[in-house]
Structure 1
Amino acid sequence: MSEHLLSGAVSRNIAAVRDLAAQVRSGRSRIDRITDAISGFVGSHRFLVAQVVVVGVWVGINAVPGIGHIDPFPFEFLNFVLAVEAIVLSTVVLMAQNRQGRESAEQAELHLQIGLLAEQETTKMLEMLREIHTKLGLGAAAKDPELREMIQTTQVELIADELKRSRTEEEPSSEPGPA
């Protein structure tokens, strides 16, 4: 039902974004898919419940008097297993986060390129509109200082430098102040 409300361009854009995401997913290595699956499971309620049940059963079996204990209190083997598990799982999660970070950086670069292209197209349209306005004898637009400023080519490097400068001005100084 909602398909009929969307324009063809919007539908094509949705399909293009979906195809791009599928292409990124299909380009992942086997180890990336494995680490994503493990990270997904480890970050779930099912894993938490399973972990609590396994540890509870282990402690229960090894704490009951009169039964031959595999790992008597203070459960050194259990501590060893949990420590190794923590190391392995933290490494797997970091691997998944690193891959996600790379994908995010690529996506941000794509967004920047699309934004710059849109800015260039908008600037060109403003130039054309100003020319049309001038040819029709409506000269006020040609004198508009805001329009002249908008028509200027965006200098990405200058904007990036200004952003860096403003961030450093906002960051609190780590040097101790006067006492």
Structure 2
Amino acid sequence: MQGLARSAEQSGAAARNIESILEIERKDEEKLLLHHRALHAVGQFVGTPYFFIIQSLGVGLWIWMNIGESNWKFDEYPFPLLALLLALEAVLLTSCVLIRQNISDQAFERRNHLDLQINLLAERESTLSLDILRRLAAHMNCPIDQDAQCDELTKETPVDAIAQDLRASEEKDEEKST
């Protein structure tokens, strides 16, 4: 029974976390200006099979109307007007996709920053928990294996030093590749 209660409690915490994340994303979406939202929607639609089908049908219809025995000829082969419109469309749609990507990158950076903050907090909590456990074991006269790894894990992680080591390692890799 207790396991079921704990599972429901964890589910409630997970549901609250999911709701919090969705609320943050909704607020971020609301902050976008109307024209950004419109360009974002266009950029999202361009990457769908529906757009591909509509685009293909439109170009096919254009060519069919101008090659066949139709009375609607308005762009003779090699279709300079179609080429102009497709080039203009390519430039505009590329801009929409890049704007959408830019907005997504900003959201990704915010999530990355949040992940880093949560990871640093979890690291600090883990270190504190291990230290408390070691002190409890010592207080209760429980034998503990003393090894270097255990001692290292109970010390606070030097985040700045790790970040500097990571940057130095990345710079070495970049120098090797160039």
Same fold by TM-score greater than 0.5? yes
The CA deviation string for residues 54-88 of structure 1, in whole angstroms up to 9 with x for no partner, is: 11111111112473631111110110000000000
Name stretches of at least 5 consecutive residues in structure 2 with no aligned partner: 1-6
Distance 1:166 1:10, change over 3 A: same
Q: Which moved more, 1:36-45 or 1:152-161?
A: 152-161
| 2:44 and 2:97 in contact (8 A); partners too | no
Aligned residues with identical type, % of pairs: 31
Map of 2:111 onto structure 1: 107
Name stretches of at least 5 consecutive residues in structure 1 with no aligned partner: none
Runs of 4 or more consecutive aligned structure 1 residues displaced over 6 Å after TM superposition: none
Q: Which has the higher contact order (CA 8 A, sep 6+)?
A: 2
One-letter amino acid of the counterpart of residue 112, structure 1: L
Distance 1:66 1:104, change over 3 A: closer
The CA deviation string for residues 63-117 of structure 1, in whole angstroms up to 9 with x for no partner, is: 1247363111111011000000000000110011011001100110001001101
Q: Aligned ranges for residues 110-129 of structure 1 at < 5 Å?
A: 110-129=114-133
- Normalised by the length of structure 2, the TM-score is 0.85
Q: Aligned ranges for residues 55-134 of structure 1 at < 5 Å?
A: 55-65=59-69, 67=71, 69-134=73-138
Distance 1:19 1:127, change over 3 A: same
Deviation at 1:168, TM superposition (A): 4.3
Map of 2:4 onto structure 1: none
Paired with 1:157 and 1:43, the residues of 2 have a C-alpha distance of 41
SS of the residue aligned with 1:80?
A: helix
> 156, 161, 165: which one pairs with 1:162?
165
Instruction: Give the count of matched residue pairs.
Output: 172
Q: Aligned ranges for residues 31-46 of structure 1 at < 5 Å?
A: 31-46=35-50
Paired with 1:68 and 1:128, the residues of 2 have a C-alpha distance of 84
Distance 1:66 1:129, change over 3 A: closer
| 2:65 and 2:72 in contact (8 A); partners too | no
2:53 is aligned with 1:52 = no
Deviation at 1:31, TM superposition (A): 2.4
Root-mean-square deviation (Å): 2.3
